[in-house]
A and B are shown apart, each in its own frame.
Chain A
Amino acid sequence: MNTKIAIIGGGPAGLAAAVSAFDAGVKDVVILERDDKLGGILNQCIHNGFGLHTFKEELTGPEYAERFIEKVRERNIECLLKTIVVDLSEAQGGGVTVTAMSAEKGMFEIQAEAVVLAMGCRERPRGALNTPGYRPAGIYSAGTAQRYVNIEGKMPGHEVVILGSGDIGLIMARRMTLEGAHVKAVAELMPYSGGLKRNIVQCLDDFGIPLKLSTTVTDIKGKDRVESVVLSKVDEKNNPIPGTEEEIPCDTLLLSCGLLPENELSSMLGVDLSPVTGGARVDESLETSISGVFACGNVLHVHDLVDYVSGEATEAGKHAAEYVLGKTPAGEEAAIALETGNGVRYTVPSFVRPGRLENFLTVRFRVGNVYKNPEICVYLGDKCLQRRKKQICAPGEMEQVMIKKSDIEAMAPGETIRIAIETE
């Protein structure tokens, strides 16, 4: 099988990328999705709050997904469901060989001229947390519990402690409560929550669920089933403080301790990955280190809002189409690197070819700490181009800056672009 653009993953990123590539003039697009339906993780995110930016209304996850699934259907874009991609490799003579597998077709290959990586992310599992204690039943990642409750209608437990106050943990605290469970506490290692304020108020405060900051799980008791967990306060180096232990009887522990971009396939293909995001290093066109291979959505870097995923994927799809149609603007000059200054964990993109920009370069990034009254500063070489005051920057929220193409073109050779957080 041959195709112009293969899109790996049928979640919000893959759907938006497919629609955008199609609308940019490439009709031969195929989406490969391992689940039996399109929509990805949105299918289990049945709470509201999606789409405020894109549709100016508050949708639930499945409703948001359906808007894009309809666009894919209207265009008759081919979708291979229950199909898992097992390998990506550069084909001799250009393009990418996609090796996929399904119960129906067995193992098969697709030759694609361009590929959009849209595989999303996975939850950090217990094994990656070094949590002591037995391995009894009753320990779930928050997203797994979310699938059980919201799709299969099964309750993972009744007396619940949640470790990690990211948005999924907060959302599940409310969800389990409404389904009749007793959520006893949400523990967070950091001195601040990584979740949205709105979720802290509407998922915890509304139901009187305590949020314990600078706290972690130091023991899990119970052999066959969780019987209790021990919470301890941590010091500024995140080490547990002896004497602060608090044992909480419970039958279930949910883990909401971060998301990791799922880049095994990207690695097989030899795509250059960022050690900070775990996603590909991309240029202004969201193209990876391998030409014709683009990345977008949570496989590139974990987003806070799905609206931004759709926006980024729309860009990636468009650039993939330009690549296939031979319309990629020249921009063969040396790429300019983007560097992270004080407080900035990473930037997307990692480098830019000014000749390929339309009018602006949009840089998305996250900060590493909570900053009150900071200035977001953009330096081109030694010169400070922009200073934007903000009331607050927090790790849970993606930030962005826009830089004019003409400013980047005026840079001297060898200079870099640096984004930094400055406080008084």
Chain B
Amino acid sequence: METKNLTCIGCPMGCALTVTYEPGNRDSVKVTGNTCKKGELYAIDEVTNPTRIVTGTIRVSNRKNLVAAVKTKDVIPKSKIFDVAHELMKISVEAPAKIGDVVVADICGTGSDLIITRNVE
């Protein structure tokens, strides 16, 4: 069994959660310190399959002093955040580009596309 301390993000209470679990076994997760159901659900996800949306910027090959804003269209595993961040430093897009344009499909094997989030004129 492993133990992890988390802060719940469900509301401003920010309950201090203590989670004990057997890695890889969702049914083994036990949460204490939560004051509502939200805390339990959050903790279970956080120790079994933590995910995040990654946002950032990439270069615009034909513009100076301007970067394009991008995000992963869907949540990706938390462990892949830096893989995506490093990839963003290598790639670029050509202006013009529109919100929703796919820059990279299935970025870093996360299953999520990287899309433009700010129109580039």
How far is it, in angstroms, between the C-alpha of A152 and the C-alpha of B57 when the chains are bound? 10
Chain B residue contacts of A333, Cβ below 8 A: none
Say whether B56 contacts A178, CB under 8 Å: yes
How far is it, in angstroms, between the C-alpha of A63 and the C-alpha of B9 when the chains are bound? 24
Q: B62 an interface residue at 8 Å Cβ cutoff?
A: no
Say whether B117 contacts A197, CB under 8 Å: no
Chain A residue nearest in CB terms to B36: A391
Interface residues of A in 55-97 (CB under 8 A from B): 58, 60, 62-63, 66
Chain A residue contacts of B55, Cβ below 8 A: 46-48, 60
How far is it, in angstroms, between the C-alpha of A180 and the C-alpha of B90 when the chains are bound? 13
Chain A residue nearest in CB terms to B98: A66
Binary interface encoding of chain A residues 123-160 relative to chain B, with 1 for a CB under 8 A from any of its CBs, else 0: 00000000000000000000000000111111000000
Interface residues of B in 1-47 (CB under 8 A from A): 6-9, 11-14, 35
The interface size bin for chain B is 20 to 34
Interface residues of B in 84-98 (CB under 8 A from A): 85, 89
Say whether B99 contacts A62, CB under 8 Å: yes
Say whether A202 contacts B9, CB under 8 Å: yes
Chain B residue contacts of A47, Cβ below 8 A: 55
Chain A residue nearest in CB terms to B85: A178
Nearest-CB distance from A82 to chain B (Å)?
A: 14
Nearest-CB distance from B96 to chain A (Å)?
A: 14
Say whether B67 contacts A197, CB under 8 Å: no
A178-B56, A391-B13 as given contacts; A46 in contact with B8, CB under 8 Å: no
In the complex, identify which listed stretch (A270-278, A337-345, A353-361, A392-400) lies at the interface while the others stay far away. Answer: A392-400
Say whether B78 contacts A206, CB under 8 Å: yes
Chain B residue contacts of A151, Cβ below 8 A: 66-67
Chain B residue contacts of A397, Cβ below 8 A: 12
Say whether A197 contacts B65, CB under 8 Å: no
Chain B residue contacts of A60, Cβ below 8 A: 55, 69, 71, 117-118
Compute the total of residue contacts between A and B using a CB distance below 8 Å: 84
Q: B59 an interface residue at 8 Å Cβ cutoff?
A: yes
Chain B residue contacts of A223, Cβ below 8 A: none
* Cross-chain contact of A63 among B56, B78, B117 (Cβ < 8 A): B117
How far is it, in angstroms, between the C-alpha of A197 and the C-alpha of B69 when the chains are bound? 25
Q: A116 an interface residue at 8 Å Cβ cutoff?
A: no
Say whether B67 contacts A58, CB under 8 Å: no
Q: B105 an interface residue at 8 Å Cβ cutoff?
A: no
Q: B81 an interface residue at 8 Å Cβ cutoff?
A: yes
Q: A388 an interface residue at 8 Å Cβ cutoff?
A: no
Query: Which of A178, A392, A393, A394 has the most chain B CB atoms inside 10 A of its CB?
Result: A178
Q: A411 an interface residue at 8 Å Cβ cutoff?
A: no
Say whether B7 contacts A205, CB under 8 Å: yes
Say whether A196 contacts B67, CB under 8 Å: no
How far is it, in angstroms, between the C-alpha of A322 and the C-alpha of B89 when the chains are bound? 51
Chain B residue nearest in CB terms to A42: B118
Chain B residue contacts of A201, Cβ below 8 A: 6-7, 9
Chain A residue contacts of B118, Cβ below 8 A: 43, 46, 60, 62-63, 66
* Cross-chain contact of B12 among A43, A63, A153, A196 (Cβ < 8 A): A196
Chain A residue nearest in CB terms to B78: A206
* Cross-chain contact of A152 among B12, B54, B65 (Cβ < 8 A): B65
A43-B118, A63-B99, A197-B11 as given contacts; A149 in contact with B57, CB under 8 Å: yes
Interface residues of A in 374-392 (CB under 8 A from B): 391-392
Chain A residue contacts of B54, Cβ below 8 A: 178
Chain B residue nearest in CB terms to A202: B52
* Cross-chain contact of B81 among A48, A150, A178, A196 (Cβ < 8 A): A178
Chain A residue contacts of B69, Cβ below 8 A: 46, 60, 62, 150
Q: A198 an interface residue at 8 Å Cβ cutoff?
A: yes
Say whether B53 contacts A153, CB under 8 Å: no
How far is it, in angstroms, between the C-alpha of A48 and the C-alpha of B81 when the chains are bound? 15
Nearest-CB distance from A103 to chain B (Å)?
A: 19
Binary interface encoding of chain A residues 318-356 relative to chain B, with 1 for a CB under 8 A from any of its CBs, else 0: 000000000000000000000000000000000000000
Q: B119 an interface residue at 8 Å Cβ cutoff?
A: yes
A60-B69, A62-B118, A63-B99 as given contacts; A153 in contact with B57, CB under 8 Å: yes
Chain A residue contacts of B65, Cβ below 8 A: 152-154
How far is it, in angstroms, between the C-alpha of A152 and the C-alpha of B99 when the chains are bound? 18
Chain A residue contacts of B56, Cβ below 8 A: 46, 175, 178-179
A178-B56, A206-B52 as given contacts; A150 in contact with B119, CB under 8 Å: no
Say whether B57 contacts A392, CB under 8 Å: no
Say whether B9 contacts A197, CB under 8 Å: yes
Closest 9 CB pairs of A and B: A153-B67, A62-B118, A46-B69, A198-B9, A197-B14, A178-B85, A60-B117, A394-B12, A392-B13
Known pairs A46-B56, A154-B65, A180-B89; list 10 more (Cβ under 8 Å): A46-B69, A62-B69, A62-B119, A150-B67, A196-B9, A198-B9, A201-B6, A201-B7, A391-B35, A394-B12
